Amino acid sequence: MKYQINQNQCGFLMKDGRFVKTIYSGTYHFLKTFGYEVIVEDMEGLVGFNKVPKEILLKEDETFAAKVLHVVIPQGFIGILKKSGVIQKVLTETEYLYWNVWNRYDVELLDMTDPETAADVGKACLAQIPLKYYKKIEIQPGELGILYYDNQVARELGTGTYYYWTYSKDVLCRVVDLKSRPLEISGQEILTADRIGVRINLMCTYKVVEPRVMIETIKNLENQVYSCVQLVIREYIGKYRLDELLEQKEDISQFIFRRLKEVEGDYCIRFQSAGIKDIILPGEIRDIMNTVLVAERRAQANVITRREEVASTRSLLNTAKLMDENKTLYKLKEMECLERICAQVGSIQVGGGALLEQLQALVR
């Protein structure tokens, strides 16, 4: 049988299932009746011939061994295959054979036994590597990362992007937000000392100051801080009657903030502010309070009116006493009244005489 091998091809000559040699470009004749067989393959990329183990091919044919790149990946390593210096793929199997005739292949071995060495690998390589082989950790500004190897604290991580191999150790990072956090408690229903239910809206801010201790000792930090603030509010509100509470509402925020500062160390945080936004009364209590307020304002208005009336009457009484004691003053008062009358009236006719002229004569 005739076999034509092109320049970019090779042929693997087999006889009775046994490898004989590798043949290259040219024309060959082998009789199948004698058990010969030629497997033709392009000399490009991965060697596809798998009729015999690779070790036999490399050992029995030196020419073939010179034309291929034999790659062995040790345990704990992965390979980065490069074609003319350009990354092609990641090699994770134990052994590879690549034709190294028309294209130049080379392999870079990456040691995964030390998690830290992943930081030395370029991003272009990491982009080709499956995520199951490494862990990417991103720490944003205002955050702190606690790095763990096999659940043991390794170190703290500041702002940045980090890469770690996960081959030999389990890598975990707990990220803690160190920025100020707002906490709002809305519609918190509390009974006062006189058994009246009020609703409190409170706002506070806090930040984590001991992230490592917090991670190891506290679960669900926000829920625990929320419960703490609730208890502090109840502690204050439950001591006072409603009217007392309304009178000293300015002191509520200061008291709550002082109490929160006393317990902040238990939660590895620092409270920065705390204040009451609203105290909401029940509907019927609010109506009663409005009625009382209106009544108080009316009573105050009545008191002011009566006070002014008394003052006016007292002034009139004093004037009357003076005029009674002094006839000249009485006469002057009469003349003042007549003058005002004359100034307002043009003419008055009574009978046949002019009353206005008589009044004016009196004034003279």
CB 183 within 8 A of CB 222: yes
How far apart are the C-alpha atoms of 69 and 103, rounded to whole Å? 11
Query: In this predicted model, what pLDDT tens digit does every residue of 75-91 receive, in sequence order?
Result: 999 999 998 888 888 99
- Write down the residue that tokens 């702002």 correspond to: 159
* Residue 242 and residue 214 share a domain: yes
Q: Which residue did the predictor score with more confidence, 59 or 327?
A: 59
How far apart are the C-alpha atoms of 6 and 43, rounded to whole Å? 10
How far apart are the C-alpha atoms of 155 and 147, rounded to whole Å? 5
Q: In the predicted model, what is the mean pLDDT of the chain?
A: 83
Pairing of strands 160-165, 134-139: antiparallel
* Residue 36 and residue 7 share a domain: yes
How far apart are the C-alpha atoms of 291 and 246, rounded to whole Å? 16
Domain limits at 199? 181-281
Query: In this predicted model, what pLDDT tens digit does every residue of 47-68 receive, in sequence order?
Result: 988 888 888 888 888 888 889 9
What is the model's pTM? 0.66
* Residue 304 and residue 210 share a domain: no
* Residue 166 and residue 185 share a domain: no
Q: Which residue did the predictor score with more confidence, 65 or 237?
A: 65
**Mean pLDDT to the nearest integer, 292-307:** 73
Residue 351 has pLDDT above 60, yes or no: no
Per DSSP, which regions of the chain are E strands? 2-5, 9-15, 18-23, 26-29, 36-42, 68-72, 77-83, 86-91, 95-99, 105-111, 134-139, 143-149, 152-157, 160-165, 171-177, 181-191, 197-208, 269-280, 349-350, 353-354
Q: Is residue 120 part of a domain?
A: no
* Residue 252 and residue 158 share a domain: no
Total Cβ atoms within 10 A of residue 276: 18
Q: Is residue 342 part of a domain?
A: yes
pLDDT above 90: percentage of residues in the chain: 29
The 3-state DSSP class for residue 287 equals: helix
* Residue 207 and residue 162 share a domain: no
* Residue 91 and residue 8 share a domain: yes
**Structural domains counted in the chain:** 5
Q: Which pair of tokens denotes residue 261?
A: 């500062």
Q: Is residue 121 part of a domain?
A: no
Burial class (CB in 10 A: 0-12, 13-18, 19+), 126: middle
Phi/psi for 86 (5° steps) reads -105, 130
